[in-house]
A and B are shown apart, each in its own frame.
Chain A
Amino acid sequence: MRKIALLVPLAVIAAGALAVLAEIPFGDRKGEVGEYYLREGRDQTGAVNIITSVVVGYRGFDTLGEVTILFTAAVGVGAVLKFAKKSGKDTGYRPSSLILRTGCRLLFPLIILVGAYIFLHGHLTPGGGFPGGAVMASAWLLVYLGCRERRISARAAGAVESASGAAFVLAGLAGLVGGGYFLANFLPCGVAGTLFSAGIIPVIYVLIGFKVGAELAGIIDNLLLESG
């Protein structure tokens, strides 16, 4: 009964949304800002990937806020789960088989390598610091699922996270000194399309990659082992 009654307001919302949607043309160009970024982005920031030049170049301050949100969430997960009483021992834990352990050992560096590739080429190809960091964290997820005798040291993850976060802010301050405003692209842009181009953008994306990787690995650590 309650479910059927709920369908009525949902239908009202759907009708309203549909009326608005009919007014928005699909597949037309809608904003001039996007066109401006497409026209000028490559020359102004040196990155051939315009999305990266928007995320780290034009809206770099916004990305700093985003990284802060992720940091706050990671701290929140840690705080919420740490205060719960800890059993201290892994219940029902059995060592995994030789095949699993060898497979994990084999795949772990390869996954880390793929993650590093993704965030190093963030200004050239699809990807960047956030997906690259997520891929690196998935290597830790594999280790946790496959061979649980190894675990990430919370202190090392925290150190990587704080160091890369602080370096992000320092890079922004260096832009203030070298370019006149926070997060200014003060390094030479180089030839667009090569690995060493786009000035400060790849540096920041590498920092974001390490920060996101360490944070997600910390979240995985908290969720898997505190609840296990």
Chain B
Amino acid sequence: MNFLYDYTYYLGAFGLVFIGLYVILTRKNLIRVIIGLSLLETGVNLFLVSLGYVRGGTAPIFSGSGTEAAGMVDPIPQALVLTSIVIGMAVLALALSLAIRLYRHAGTIDLAKIRGQRW
């Protein structure tokens, strides 16, 4: 029980990762595969942020006099996730534009149908 209480964030983050993996592996619609990729990435980001959490910690921003360094969460995972979110957005945009291009070329975004076509 204590495990579940303590690890809610980890389990939630990995739940998202596995939902994303399942979607990527099972769906044939390319847009849904891209949505799965995005879900997986969100799960990984959540996991990284929850790794940096310190019990009772505040955001690592000095505001006013009541905040001190000892009571703040780890800033490094947050800074890295900032990078990861931006790169994920770039990958998403590129994947969607490739999907548009594929639709123009093949007339469908169903991967099962595209596989059988001759290019």
**Chain A residues in contact with chain B, CB under 8 A?**
2-3, 6-7, 10, 13-14, 17-18, 21-22, 24-31, 33-35, 37-39, 41-42, 48-51, 54-55, 59, 62-63, 66, 69-70, 72-74, 76-77, 80-81, 83-85, 124-126, 128, 130, 134, 192-193, 212, 219, 222-223, 226-227
Contact = CB atoms under 8 A, between A and B. Distances in A.
B76 A48 contact: no
A80 B76 contact: no
A212 to B, nearest CB: 8
Interface string B64-78: 000001101011101
A31 B54 CA distance: 11
> Closest 9 CB pairs between A and B?
A73-B90, A27-B55, A34-B74, A50-B60, A54-B79, A38-B69, A48-B62, A77-B97, A50-B75
Given A49-B61, A51-B79, A21 B94 contact: no
Nearest to A212: B86
Contacts of B50: 26
Looking at chain B's contact residues, the main secondary structure is helix
Contact of B100 (A2, A50, A51, A81): A81
Interface string B8-48: 01110010001001100110000000000000000000000
Given A48-B63, A63-B83, A74-B90, A24 B10 contact: yes
Given A26-B53, A38-B69, A70-B86, A222 B76 contact: no
Contacts of A69: 86-87, 90
B106 interface: no
B118 interface: no
Interface size class, chain B: 35 or more
A166 to B, nearest CB: 20
Interface of B: 3, 6-7, 9-11, 14, 18, 21-22, 25-26, 50-55, 59-63, 69-70, 72, 74-76, 78-79, 82-83, 85-87, 89-91, 93-94, 96-98, 100-101, 104
